[in-house]
Amino acid sequence: MNFYLNWFKHEENAPDDNKSIGILLCLDNDELYGKYATEGMDNLVLSGRFALQLPEPEQLKRALTTVIKE
């Protein structure tokens, strides 16, 4: 993910774009996995729970709004 975020920063972002973020989807909420998966990354990386299918659009909007506000 760090490779992709850095590539996007250099190749796709315009000079006035905000910094890119990555979303790391995990099977469960294990702080240790998240720590080691993201340690040393200078990009913002968010993590969440893995699901086999996406929730309904309104439920997804509410969940993303909650995460962004935190």
pTM for the predicted model, two decimal places: 0.46
Domain containing 27 equals 2-69
Give Cα 14 to chain centroid, integer Å.
20
Nearest to 70 by CA among 44, 52, 43: 44
What is the average pLDDT across 50-62? 80
Please, are residues 25 and 50 in contact by the beta-carbon 8 Å criterion? yes
CA distances from 58 to 10, 27, 44, 48 (A): 33, 22, 25, 17
Q: What is the band of 12 on the pLDDT scale with cuts at 50, 70, 90?
A: very high
Least confident of 23-27, 34-38, 52-56, 63-67: 23-27
Number of domains composing the chain: 1
- Structure tokens, 9: 């920063």
Which comes out higher in pLDDT, residue 47 or 55? 55
Which of 32-36, 48-52, 53-57 is the most confident on average?
Answer: 53-57
